[in-house]
Amino acid sequence: MKKLLGILGGIVLVVIVAVFVLLGSLDSIIKSQIESVGTELTGVAVTVDDVEIDLTKGAGQITGLTIANPDGYSSSPAFQLGLLKLKIDIGSLVEAQPIVLDTLVIESMNTSLELRGNTSNLNVISESVSKNAKSAEEKTTETEGGKPLLISIQKVFINNVNIAIISGEKKSSDKLPTIELTNVGGKEGKSAAGIASVVLSKLVSEILKEAAMEQRDFGWCHQEPAGFTQ
């Protein structure tokens, strides 16, 4: 009996150590996934400064997420996100997919919109998102069943979007009202690439609409990015 208890105690100890190792590396795993999937999806470099996930509190935050400009445009980033906060429905972690996020809030964002004819750097990124969605999904972390991890987000808020608009030698600035999306991914959920496609397409669409109003005196008409579907 003592031997059996000793074996069971050893197994429990190994499980506990494994859990702590997994939780300890979770932040770096998510950071790597965002950068890998994001770069594949947008066709430009996506980098993240830091990821902090606390599953015990069902909360997390991502800082310093940057999306570079496409080739042929300036070296400044197309998007710079200050702080992204998320609230996790812990109950969904122990149930069948999808994982549910109660909220995802982008606290602030700076974006640089470079206009060229009837297109722009953001149109190029949006077109890449549409074209690369399938290949980006293949880079998404897979579950044991061989299917991508699915996510559903109840509410997404994008606050304080500051836009620098560059049209030739002309420069101006603008700011978007808060963008709100609901039930992103639906009941079935979407892969990380699918969620990013929805949010980016909506964001780019709103930026281009606002810029068209701002730049109408310059004779610029924007092209709508690929339509988004929640």
Is the pLDDT at 64 greater than 90? The verdict is yes
Q: In the prediction, which pLDDT does 25 show? A: 61
Check if the beta carbon of residue 175 is closer than 8 Å to that of residue 160: yes
Q: In the prediction, which pLDDT does 225 show? A: 52
Task: Kindly state whether residue 35 falls inside one of the protein's structural domains.
Answer: yes
Q: How far apart are CA 163 and CA 177, in angstroms?
A: 11
Is the pLDDT at 153 greater than 90? The verdict is yes
Task: Kindly state whether residue 223 falls inside one of the protein's structural domains.
Answer: no
Domain count, the chain: 1
pLDDT digits (tens, 9 = 90+) for 215-229: 554 444 455 555 444
Looking at per-residue confidence, does 13 or 69 come out higher? 69
216-225 b/e (C-beta count within 10 Å ≥ 16 → b): eeeebebeeb
Mean pLDDT is lowest, of 28-32, 57-61, 93-97, 138-142, for: 138-142
Cβ-Cβ contacts under 8 Å for 156 (sequence gap 6 or more): 103, 104, 105, 106, 179, 180, 181, 182, 184, 199
Which DSSP string do the residues of the chain spell out, in sequence order? -HHHHHHHHHHHHHHHHHHHHHHHHHHHHHHHHHHHHHHHHHSS-EE-SEEEEETTTTEEEEEEEEEPPPTTS-SS-SEEEEEEEEEE-GGGGGSSSPEEEEEEEE--EEEEEEEETTEEHHHHHHHHHHHHHHHHHHTSPB-TTSSB--EEEEEEEE--EEEEEEETTEEEEEEEPPEEEEEETTTT-B-HHHHHHHHHHHHHHHHHHHHHHHTGGGT--PPPPSPP--
Q: Which of 28, 29, 69, 32 is nearest to 47 (CA)?
A: 32
Average pLDDT score over residue span 69-85: 94
Is the pLDDT at 47 greater than 90? The verdict is yes
**For residue 9, which amino acid is it?**
G
Task: Kindly state whether residue 226 falls inside one of the protein's structural domains.
Answer: no
Q: Tell me the two tokens of residue 71.
A: 């080739």
Check if the beta carbon of residue 157 is closer than 8 Å to that of residue 204: no
Helix-helix angle 192-214:2-42, to 10 degrees = 30
Task: Kindly state whether residue 227 falls inside one of the protein's structural domains.
Answer: no
Structural domain of 41: 2-218
Maximum Cα–Cα distance across the chain = 86
Share of the chain above pLDDT 70, in %: 77
Looking at per-residue confidence, does 8 or 58 come out higher? 58
Task: Kindly state whether residue 53 falls inside one of the protein's structural domains.
Answer: yes
Q: In the prediction, which pLDDT does 30 show? A: 85
Cβ-Cβ contacts under 8 Å for 124 (sequence gap 6 or more): 43, 70, 73
Average pLDDT score over residue span 98-119: 92
Mean pLDDT is lowest, of 11-15, 38-42, 51-55, for: 11-15
* Average model confidence (pLDDT) across the chain: 81
Task: Kindly state whether residue 204 falls inside one of the protein's structural domains.
Answer: yes
Task: Kindly state whether residue 224 falls inside one of the protein's structural domains.
Answer: no
Parallel/antiparallel/unpaired status of strands 46-47 and 59-67: antiparallel
Task: Kindly state whether residue 85 falls inside one of the protein's structural domains.
Answer: yes
Q: In the prediction, which pLDDT does 224 show? A: 53
Is the pLDDT at 209 greater than 90? The verdict is no
